[in-house]
Amino acid sequence: MRPLIFAANWKMHLGPEGARRFLHSFLERHEALPDRETWFFPSAVALETVARLTGDRPAIRTGAQNVYWEPKGAFTGELSVGMAREAGAQAGLVGHSERRHVFGETDQETGRKVRALLESDLTPMLCVGEKIEQREAGETLGVVQRQLSALDGLGRDALAQIVIAYEPVWAIGTGKTATPEDAAEVHAAIRDWFTERGVSPETTRVLYGGSVKPDNIHALISQPEIDGVLVGGASLDPASWSEIVRVTLD
């Protein structure tokens, strides 16, 4: 069994000093459990701090919230995979709904970022998810499949490295969560997509994200289709994040 992943997406919060204070408080109460990993996606400027302060904890990994696919050059404001890696990143978040819907990132661009991460042996975590009007129109699975098509052309071994985070856009930061059953249905479809391309269903990891909190983590993580969670708001408070990562499984 691959470990469950509890991933914190700090978005545009916590610089190096905020990250240091958070980890001081979180690590004090954190005990590694053998069935799970904790991942942090801090701001780019806090990557190095998080990687350094968690470096002696093998079940904690650090990742970049976004990367650019070119290795270097005149791309003002961008972060290359190599630079993220040098700062300690082991993973990279790609295609988060805020990247897609606030910054206009396309499926083609997410595909290039995934490939750039794979080429440097960083684990891509690709986010997919539908907007409310797409869900109401019954288009959820079609939208998710179109977003997954960014991975077309990758071989089985490459696909097996990728972690998917299913985050319905209408559930992000809104306090609304997909029911565990609704999430599980989309997760099963994502797993089928990978299975059809030769990746064994036990290998594919599909996380759920969108208003995950201490009071709904148990119901979500108890779904066999849900291999972990990607958490924004509730990952910014060391106490609620600790509660989430140590949820008891049935």
**Site residues (vs ligand PGA, CB under 6 A):** 9, 167, 172-173, 209-212, 230-234
All residues at 6 or more sequence positions from 77 whose CB lies less than 8 Å from its CB, including other chains: none
Instruction: From 39, 162, 61, 74, select the one nearest 110 (Cα to Cα).
Output: 162
- Residue nearer to ligand PGA on the CB measure, 36 or 52: 36
CB of 211 to ligand PGA, least distance (A): 4
- Residue nearer to ligand PGA on the CB measure, 91 or 199: 91
Output helix, strand, coil percentages for the chain, rounded to the nearest 5.
40, 15, 40
CB of 238 to ligand PGA, least distance (A): 16
Nearest residue to ligand PGA by CB is: 232
DSSP conformation class of 108: H
All residues at 6 or more sequence positions from 151 whose CB lies less than 8 Å from its CB, including other chains: 111, 114, 126, 159, 162
- Choosing from 96, 109, 130, 187, the catalytic residue is 96
- Residue nearer to ligand PGA on the CB measure, 140 or 211: 211
Question: What angle do helix axes 16-29 and 238-245 make, rounded to 10 degrees?
Answer: 50
CB of 117 to ligand PGA, least distance (A): 18
- Residue nearer to ligand PGA on the CB measure, 134 or 160: 134
96 classed as catalytic: yes
CB of 126 to ligand PGA, least distance (A): 12
Length of the chain: 250
Q: Which residues belong to the active site?
A: 96, 167
